[in-house]
Amino acid sequence: MFIQQLYTSCLAQAAYYIESNGEVAIIDPLRDYESYLAMAKERGANIKYIFETHFHADFVSGHIDLADRTGAKIVYGPTTKTNYPVHVAKDGESLKLGNLTIKVLHTPGHTPESSCFLLVDENDKDHCVFTGDTLFVGDVGRPDLLDGLMTKEELAGMMYDSLQNKLLTLSDDVLVYPAHGAGSACGKNIGKETFSTIGEQRTNNYALQPMTKAQFTVAVTDGIQPAPAYFFKDAKLNKQGYAKFDEVLSKALMPLNVSELESEIKNGTTIVDTRNPDLFELGFITGSLNFGLNGQYAIWAATILDIDSPIVLVTEPGKEQESAERLTRVGFDNIKGFLNGGFEAWLDAEKRYDMVISIDDEEFELDVKHAEVGVLDVRKPGEFNELHVDSAQHFSLDKIVENTKNLDPNKEYLVHCAGGYRSMIAVSYLKAHGIKNVKNVWGGFGKIKERGGLKYVSSVIGNA
C-alpha cells in the first residue's frame, strides 16, 4: 500500500495518489494532470480509478482529461448527474484497488453528492478516510453553495447527519485526509495541518462537539463570508465538462510581441503581471494587475477578475507555463498568450510604464499622524476585526471591484494588508481604475503593529 498526499499550497488543495499491486486511484486531481501520469509511470503502475469527492467549486478538476488519457473510471457518490460518463456509486459500495478496498460513504452537506472514501487495508482494517470538503482539520465544509436550490440551513442539517452517522462512527485511529488546508475559502477557519485523525477531530473540531442539529446549524453557518463568484462557474464546469487542458495551455503559451500586446490592450484584454510585488512596483505596463506567483495567485486572480475575460500574461522569463497552468486550475480558459521577453521587452521598445510608490512603517505612521490621507486595510474581516489602525477603512480585497467606485480619485490613500502581497494586488487594481494617488505599505500590518506608534482598535466583542 502506498498513499501520497499531493498538496498545492497556492490553492490550499490536496489531491491523493493511492497504489496497491500496480493499481492506482487518484482522488480530486488538479486540472494539470500530467504529474499523476508521470508518478504512475515512474512506479510502474496504472491508474484505474479517479474518485471525485464532489463537484469542486474552487478549482477545475483534472478528472475528465485524466480519464481520457488513461481509460480510468471516474467515480462520484450518490445523486451525481453529469454530462460525461461516470460511475455513480451507491452509498456503502466497495471498489477493489489491488489488495485494498475503497468504500463509498455518502456524506451530503457541503453539496448533495458529497462523499467520503474510506480505505480498508489488506488486513480488512479501516486505515484512512478521504473526506473531501465534508470534514477538514478543525472545520467542516461550508453549506451555502447551492443558494436557490437548497438553503444553507438544509445543507447544514444534512452535514450534521453525515458527520454523526458516518464519520464519527469510525475508530479514533482512522486517518483523516481532507481536500483543503488553511487558506481555502471552502471552510470558515481551516487548521494549518493537512491531515489528522478521527480521534483528534472528535476532540478538537468545534463542529464535532456534542450539540443538537439546530445548534450545529447555527455554529457552521454563522459568520460565513460570501463565496467568490468564480466558485459557481467552476462547479458548473466540473459538472458539465470543460475545454481540454492541453488545448487551453497551448493557446496560453503563444508568445506575443510588444505590438501585438498593444493591440490586445486596445481591445480591452486584461494584463496580468505575475512577477513578485517587489519587482512589479519598480515598473509595470500601465493598467496591468499584479498577482504575484509567490502567493495565492490563482485564487486572488479568480476572486477579482471574471474567469471568462481575455487575459495576456507578463511574467519573469521562464515562468510563462507556471503562470498559465495555475490560472487554468481555477477556470481561466481565455488566456491569449504572454509578452515575449517579459517587461524588459516593453522597456526595450521604449514604451511608457507606471510605478508604485511604497513606504515603510515609519513613513506610514508620520503620514497618518500629520497628513490628510485615507488608510485602506485590505485584509479579511476576521483579521481587521481582531486589530486594526484606528483611522483605517476596511477595504477587503475580495470586495475591491464594488468598493473602488466609492473612493475619491483626488484623495491620497495608503494601502496595507498583513505582509504586503495582497496590498500590491489592491494598489495595482486601484491605479488601473482611476485611483492614482495611492501608496503601498511595505511589511503591512505586521510592521505597522511592531512599530506601535498609532492607536489600534479591535472590533471583536470582549477585546476592545
Domain of 310: which CATH number?
A: 3.40.250.10
Number of alpha carbons in the 13 Å side-chain half-sphere of residue 67: 18
Same structural domain, 92 and 186: yes
Same structural domain, 390 and 248: no
Q: Is residue 370 part of a domain?
A: yes
The pLDDT score that the predictor gives to residue 462 is 45
Is this structure's pTM higher than 0.85? yes
3-state SS, one letter per residue, for the chain: CEEEEEEEHHHCEEEEEEEECCEEEEECCECCCHHHHHHHHHCCCEEEEEECCCCCCCCCECHHHHHHHHCCEEEECCCCCCCCCCEECCCCCEEEECCEEEEEEECCCCCCCCEEEEEECCCCCEEEEEEECCEECCEECCCCCCCCCCCHHHHHHHHHHHHHHCHHHCCCCCEEEECECCCCCCCCCCCCCCCEEHHHHHHHCHHHCCCCHHHHHHHHHCCCCCCCCHHHHHHHHHHHCCCCHHHHHHHHCCEECHHHHHHHHHCCCEEEECCCHHHHCCCECCCCEECCCCCCHHHHHHHHCCCCCCEEEECCCCCHHHHHHHHHCCCCCCEEEEECCHHHHHHHCCCCCECCEEECHHHHHHHHHHCCEEEEECCCHHHHHHCEECCEEECCHHHHHHHHHHCCCCCEEEEECCCCHHHHHHHHHHHHCCCCCEEEECCHHHHHHHHCCCCEECCCCCCC
Same structural domain, 405 and 364: yes
Same structural domain, 336 and 259: yes
Same structural domain, 375 and 226: no
Same structural domain, 438 and 384: yes
- Domain C-terminal end among 288, 320, 348: 348
Q: Which residues partner with 106 through β-bridges?
A: 115
Q: Which domain holds residue 48?
A: 2-232
The pLDDT score that the predictor gives to residue 461 is 53
- Domain C-terminal end among 279, 313, 348: 348
Q: Is residue 311 part of a domain?
A: yes
Same structural domain, 65 and 207: yes
Same structural domain, 222 and 287: no
Q: Is residue 238 part of a domain?
A: no
Q: Are 154 and 119 in contact (CB under 8 A)?
A: no
- Domain C-terminal end among 232, 257, 286: 232
The pLDDT score that the predictor gives to residue 41 is 98
Domain of 38: which CATH number?
A: 3.60.15.10
The pLDDT score that the predictor gives to residue 96 is 98
Same structural domain, 254 and 213: no
Residue 270 to residue 335: CA distance in whole angstroms: 10
Q: How many domains does the chain have?
A: 3
Same structural domain, 38 and 170: yes
Same structural domain, 317 and 338: yes
Q: Is residue 109 part of a domain?
A: yes
The pLDDT score that the predictor gives to residue 459 is 82
Same structural domain, 169 and 104: yes
Mean pLDDT per 10-residue run, the chain (464 residues)? 96 97 98 97 98 97 98 98 97 98 98 98 97 98 88 96 98 98 92 97 97 97 91 96 97 98 97 97 98 96 97 98 98 98 98 97 96 96 95 96 96 97 98 97 96 90 43
Distances (CA, A) of 227 to 58, 313, 399: 9, 26, 11
Q: Is residue 463 part of a domain?
A: no
The pLDDT score that the predictor gives to residue 148 is 73
